[in-house]
Amino acid sequence: MSDSSKHARASMANLYRIFTIPEAPDSVLRKIDEGISENMIGFLQKHIVAEETDLVKIEKDFSSTLIPEEPKFVSEQTEFLMEKVVAQSVHTSSPSFIGHMTSALPYFMIPLSKIMIALNQNLVKTETSKVFTPLERQVLGMLHRLIYDQNEGFYERWLHDSHQHLGAFCSGGTVANITALWAARNKAFGPEGEFGGIAKEGVFSAYRHYGCEGAAILVSQRGHYSLSKSADLLGIGREQVIAIDTDQNNKIKLDSLRNKLVELKTRNIRPFALIGIAGTTETGNIDPLDALADIAESEGIHFHVDGAWGGPAVFSNTHRHMLKGIERADSVTIDAHKQLYVPMGVGLVLFRDPDTLTSIEHHAQYIIRRDSKDLGSNTLEGSRPGMAMLVHSALNIIGRGGYELLINQGIEKAQRFAEMICESEDFELVTEPELNILTYRWVPASVQKLFKNGTFQDQVNANEVLNKITRFIQKTQREHGLAFVSRTQLNPPLHNHQSITVFRVVLANPLTTVEVLRSVLDEQRQISNDSLLEKRIGELDDLVAHSYV
> For residues 90 and 357, is the Cβ–Cβ distance under 8 A?
no
Q: Which positions ≥6 away from 433 have C-beta within 8 Å?
A: 284, 411, 414, 415, 417, 418, 507
User: What span, in angstroms and rounded, lies between the C-alpha atoms of 238 and 211?
Assistant: 21
> For residues 217 and 181, is the Cβ–Cβ distance under 8 A?
yes
Residue nearer to ligand PLP on the CB measure, 173 or 386: 173
* Binding of residue 454 to ligand PLP (CB under 6 A): no
**CB 340 to ligand PLP: min, Å:** 12
Number of residues that bind ligand PLP (CB under 6 A): 15
Residue nearer to ligand PLP on the CB measure, 279 or 325: 279
**CB 268 to ligand PLP: min, Å:** 30
* Binding of residue 486 to ligand PLP (CB under 6 A): no
* Binding of residue 287 to ligand PLP (CB under 6 A): no
> For residues 380 and 170, is the Cβ–Cβ distance under 8 A?
yes
Site for ligand PLP, residues 136 to 175, rule: CB under 6 A: 172-174
Exactly one of 287, 306, 434, 523 binds ligand PLP (CB under 6 A); that residue is 306
Q: Dihedral (C-alpha) 516, 517, 521, 527: value to the nearest 10 degrees?
A: 40
Paired residues of 216 in beta bridges:
271
Burial of residue 74, with CB atoms counted within 10 A of its CB: 0-12 exposed, 13-18 middle, 19 or more buried: buried
* Binding of residue 99 to ligand PLP (CB under 6 A): no
Q: What single DSSP character describes residue 108?
A: T
* Binding of residue 228 to ligand PLP (CB under 6 A): no
* Binding of residue 341 to ligand PLP (CB under 6 A): no
**CB 225 to ligand PLP: min, Å:** 8
Exactly one of 94, 113, 179, 281 binds ligand PLP (CB under 6 A); that residue is 281
Exactly one of 330, 335, 404, 523 binds ligand PLP (CB under 6 A); that residue is 335
Element (H, E) at 500: strand 500-506
Mapped to the 3 state alphabet, what secondary structure does 390-409 carry? Answer: HHHHHHHHHHHHHHHHHHHH
* Binding of residue 467 to ligand PLP (CB under 6 A): no
Site string for ligand PLP, 247-266 (x = CB under 6 A): --------------------
* Binding of residue 206 to ligand PLP (CB under 6 A): no
* Binding of residue 384 to ligand PLP (CB under 6 A): no
Reference 254, options 263, 242, 245; nearest CA is: 245
* Binding of residue 523 to ligand PLP (CB under 6 A): no
Residue nearer to ligand PLP on the CB measure, 337 or 495: 337
Element (H, E) at 274: strand 269-277
Site for ligand PLP, residues 17 to 56, rule: CB under 6 A: none
Exactly one of 7, 224, 251, 504 binds ligand PLP (CB under 6 A); that residue is 224
Span interacting with ligand PLP, options 54-62, 213-221, 274-282, 412-420, rule CB under 6 A: 274-282
Reference 334, options 378, 355, 304, 291; nearest CA is: 304
User: What span, in angstroms and rounded, lies between the C-alpha atoms of 278 and 272?
Assistant: 20
Residue 451 CA to its chain's centroid (Å):
34
Residue nearer to ligand PLP on the CB measure, 7 or 338: 338
> For residues 371 and 279, is the Cβ–Cβ distance under 8 A?
no
* Binding of residue 226 to ligand PLP (CB under 6 A): yes
Span interacting with ligand PLP, options 234-242, 303-311, 405-413, 476-484, rule CB under 6 A: 303-311
Q: Which residues bind ligand PLP (CB under 6 A)?
A: 101, 172-174, 177, 224, 226, 277, 279, 281, 306, 308-309, 335, 347
